[in-house]
């Protein structure tokens, strides 16, 4: 097919993830001809199979935890049960509402949504195969790659044959696994383990590192480990899985080495939560002149430009930290650069929150990172119970801590493990972003009794400056 038979667009986006969809909607609203190619999940992973559905299920599990604790709150609830198909239905309803929202945004903005699988057939030229078997060829003045990542199922013997659940299937369960074995003690492993435990599943977490979420400070990982043990979750860190037998959903056996001993774990279900791989193979990047990194991400500079002119890459596939809010910031970067600005990823804040209950949230430096860099700091740390709100809720577990400059007053980092930790990030982030002193938070009047009030206690305990 010749170039002339290709349909011409101002903007073609491959993958309808976070940044790409906003770029297309924005361009189309500005009167530019924009198309988004999506093979399966309209709006990307977040609303369909990742953040929002997982937090929906996790909230049902939170409600279940209240039933477990009913007597503590003075409520008699002798007869209750989890109806997993109804838990799933609640989630599906939300996802369906989000889909409608996305379709409306496409319709209102004028951006064209093309359902199908796309791959480059030349510089800035993409061929799309539709589910009906049709083929279209699109040529974009500008092209954005936004293809995301997928769950990694490693080459442990027997693992692939066991058809382990990934987050996608785990969020679609309509019955409670009798015994769920979870590979990986990172974000997905921990969020989903706790939820499944609260629904009544026996849960065993196998993590190859010596600690859960091993990049965090030791006090944080210890607190998380303690939480999991208290909830009745078996946690085996420092565990090397050697092989797997059976089939997830029926019976599965995991063979592993733990503390120098061979161990065998029998379960009914297996969840692979051992990291993610970028969706960058088989999409013709080589014919488009787009290079990839050693880890398989699209190679981009700090403006998110690839190695090919007028082709940009955004979100997980570009190696941006794997969070939806970072995907959204990638949108802002590309949008502003297209408008003649010079916005970059350099030095941007990367806040995050793991939605265990309670949550673990962090922005900026941890103690571990500060020590690795040889950076000195003043440390303030208070128990979560310092925020009196936690006592009214019966949720006093955890702590918050902040690293402050030794000789100045700027906040270098903030970590909270406790109820509402994710929301506590916001005021701290704003102070950090504005370069304001920690005393701004210490001296603010926060409403009583709310969680931010705890920041007064935290920042009131910063040791005196090193002189
Ligand atoms: C279970 C889970 C929970 C999470 N929870 C959170 C959370 O609470 N908070 C948070 O910030 N982050 C969370 N994340 C991470 C977050 O979901 C990702 O960082 C984010 O969705 C990545 O967005 P993206 O735009 O880069 O890619 P995606 O949203 O994955 O979009 C890529 C799209 O491209 C499509 N695609 C790929 N290849 C092609 C092709 N060849 N042709 C056509 N279409 C294609 C895919 O179908 C997909 O829809 C979670 C992730 C998981 C898995
Ligand atoms: N709340 C959130 O923001 C949220 C929630 C879920 C996912 N995410 C994003 O998605 C990413 C992927 O999540 P994830 O949990 O798949 O990855 P992860 O990188 O967070 O955790 C994977 C864990 O699996 C362990 N592991 C790897 N191979 C193993 C093996 N063979 N046996 C045992 N353990 C093994 C790793 O040591 C690691 O601790 C996260 O890093 C995060 O960026 C974010």
Kindly state if the Cβ of 322 falls inside 6 Å of ligand 1. Answer: yes
Same fold yes or no, 3-150+277-338 and 160-274: yes
The three-state secondary structure class of 155 is: coil
Closest ligand to the CA of 244: 2
Backbone angles phi, psi at 414, to 5 degrees: -145, 130
Reply yes or no on domain 358-459 having CATH 3.40.1050.10.
Answer: no
Residues of the chain with pLDDT below 50 are: 1-4
- The helix (run of H) or strand (run of E) holding residue 84 is helix 84-109
Kindly state if the Cβ of 41 falls inside 6 Å of ligand 1. Answer: yes
Kindly state if the Cβ of 208 falls inside 6 Å of ligand 2. Answer: yes
- Compute, in angstroms, the gap from residue 297 CA to the centroid of ligand 1: 14
- The helix (run of H) or strand (run of E) holding residue 168 is helix 167-170
Structure tokens belonging to residue 235:
């946690």
Domain map (residue ranges) of the chain: 3-150+277-338, 160-274, 358-459
The three-state secondary structure class of 33 is: coil
pLDDT value of position 373: 97
**pTM of the predicted model as reported, rounded to 2 decimal places:** 0.97
Class of domain 160-274: alpha beta
- Compute, in angstroms, the gap from residue 362 CA to the centroid of ligand 2: 16
Question: 262 labelled as ligand-binding?
Answer: no
d(CA 388, CA 390): 5
Structure tokens belonging to residue 85:
């198909």
Backbone angles phi, psi at 426, to 5 degrees: -55, -55
The residue whose CA is least distant from atom 12 of ligand 1 is 323
d(CA 200, CA 183): 19
Are 11 and 144 spatial neighbours (Cβ–Cβ below 8 Å)? yes
d(CA 113, CA 111): 7
Kindly state if the Cβ of 184 falls inside 6 Å of ligand 1. Answer: no
Structure tokens belonging to residue 146:
């936004």
User: How would you list the strands of the sheet with 239-247, edge to edge?
Assistant: 239-247, 251-258, 261-267
- 177 C-beta neighbours (distance < 10 Å), count: 23
- Going by C-alpha positions, the residue among 419, 434, 422, 427 that lies closest to residue 452 is 427
Structure tokens belonging to residue 159:
């693992």
User: For a pocket test of ligand 1, which of 106, 147, 188 has the largest count of ligand atoms closer than 8 A to its C-beta?
Assistant: 147
The residue whose CA is least distant from atom 2 of ligand 1 is 50
Location of structure tokens 């994710």:
422
Structure tokens belonging to residue 301:
């500079």
d(CA 209, CA 159): 19
Dihedral angle over CA of 271, 274, 278, 281, nearest 10 = -70
User: For a pocket test of ligand 2, which of 18, 56, 186, 321 has the largest count of ligand atoms closer than 8 A to its C-beta?
Assistant: 186
Structure tokens belonging to residue 40:
């399966």
Question: 275 labelled as ligand-binding?
Answer: yes
Reply yes or no on domain 3-150+277-338 having CATH 3.50.50.60.
Answer: yes
- Compute, in angstroms, the gap from residue 461 CA to the centroid of ligand 1: 40
- 440 C-beta neighbours (distance < 10 Å), count: 16
Kindly state if the Cβ of 355 falls inside 6 Å of ligand 2. Answer: yes
d(CA 19, CA 298): 15
Question: Which ligand 1 atom minimizes the distance to the CA of 49?
Answer: 1
- Compute, in angstroms, the gap from residue 207 CA to the centroid of ligand 2: 10
The residue whose CA is least distant from atom 20 of ligand 1 is 324
- Going by C-alpha positions, the residue among 213, 462, 228, 234 that lies closest to residue 361 is 213
Question: 454 labelled as ligand-binding?
Answer: no
Question: 316 labelled as ligand-binding?
Answer: yes
User: For a pocket test of ligand 1, which of 21, 22, 24, 45 has the largest count of ligand atoms closer than 8 A to its C-beta?
Assistant: 45
pLDDT value of position 466: 75
d(CA 400, CA 139): 51
pLDDT value of position 467: 72
Question: 41 labelled as ligand-binding?
Answer: no
- Compute, in angstroms, the gap from residue 196 CA to the centroid of ligand 1: 22
User: For a pocket test of ligand 1, which of 19, 44, 94, 272 has the largest count of ligand atoms closer than 8 A to its C-beta?
Assistant: 44
Question: 118 labelled as ligand-binding?
Answer: yes
Kindly state if the Cβ of 324 falls inside 6 Å of ligand 1. Answer: yes
pLDDT value of position 379: 98
**123, 282, 290 from 286: Cα distances, Å:** 9, 9, 6
User: HEC profile for 16-28?
Assistant: CCHHHHHHHHHHH
Which residues are tagged catalytic?
Answer: 448
What distance separates the 2 farthest-apart alpha carbons in the chain? 74
Question: Which ligand 1 atom minimizes the distance to the CA of 324?
Answer: 11
DSSP 314: -
- Helix orientation angle between 18-29 and 324-338, rounded to the nearest 10 degrees: 30
Question: Which ligand 1 atom minimizes the distance to the CA of 118?
Answer: 42
DSSP 151: E
Structure tokens belonging to residue 440:
């701004």
């Amino acid at each position: 097919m010749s170039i002339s038979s290709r349909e011409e667009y101002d903007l073609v986006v491959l993958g309808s993830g976070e940044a790409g969809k906003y770029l297309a909607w924005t361009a189309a609203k500005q009167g530019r001809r924009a198309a988004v190619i999506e093979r399966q999940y309209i709006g990307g992973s977040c609303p369909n199979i990742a953040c929002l559905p997982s937090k929906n299920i996790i909230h049902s599990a939170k409600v279940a935890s209240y039933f477990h604790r009913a007597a503590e709150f003075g409520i008699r609830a002798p007869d209750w049960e989890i109806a997993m198909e109804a838990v799933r239905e609640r989630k599906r309803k939300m996802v369906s509402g989000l889909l409608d929202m996305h379709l409306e945004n496409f319709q209102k903005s004028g951006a064209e949504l093309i359902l199908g699988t796309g791959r480059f057939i030349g510089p800035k030229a993409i061929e799309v195969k539709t589910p009906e078997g049709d083929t279209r060829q699109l040529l974009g003045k500008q092209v954005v790659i936004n293809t995301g990542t997928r769950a990694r199922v490693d080459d442990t013997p027997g693992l692939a044959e066991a058809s382990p659940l990934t987050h996608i299937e785990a969020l679609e369960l309509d019955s409670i696994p009798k015994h769920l074995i979870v590979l990986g003690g990172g974000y997905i492993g921990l969020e989903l383990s706790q939820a499944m435990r609260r629904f009544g599943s026996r849960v065993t977490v196998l993590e190859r590192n010596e600690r859960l979420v091993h990049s965090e400070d030791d006090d944080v990982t210890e607190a998380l480990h303690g939480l999991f043990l208290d909830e009745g979750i078996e946690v085996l860190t420092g565990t090397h899985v050697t092989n797997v037998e059976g089939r997830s959903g029926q019976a599965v056996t995991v063979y592993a080495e733990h503390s120098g001993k061979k161990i065998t774990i029998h379960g009914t279900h297996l969840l692979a939560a051992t990291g993610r791989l970028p969706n960058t193979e088989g999409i013709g990047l080589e014919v488009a002149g787009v290079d990839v990194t050693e880890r398989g991400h699209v190679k981009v500079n700090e403006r998110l430009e690839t190695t090919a002119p007028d082709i940009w890459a955004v979100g997980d596939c570009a190696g941006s930290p794997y969070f939806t809010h970072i995907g959204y910031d990638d949108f802002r970067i590309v949008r502003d650069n297209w408008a003649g600005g010079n916005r970059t990823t350099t030095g941007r804040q990367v806040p995050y929150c793991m939605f265990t209950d309670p949550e673990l949230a962090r922005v900026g430096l941890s103690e571990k990172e500060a020590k690795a860099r040889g950076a000195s700091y003043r440390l303030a740390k208070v128990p979560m119970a310092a925020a009196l709100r936690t006592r009214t809720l019966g949720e006093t577990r955890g702590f918050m801590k902040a690293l402050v400059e030794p000789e100045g007053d700027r906040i270098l980092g903030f970590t909270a493990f406790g109820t509402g930790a994710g929301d506590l990030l916001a005021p701290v982030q704003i102070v950090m972003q504005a370069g304001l002193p920690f005393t701004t938070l210490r001296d603010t009047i926060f409403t009583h009794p709310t969680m931010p009030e705890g920041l007064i206690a935290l920042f009131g305990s910063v040791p005196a400056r090193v002189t």
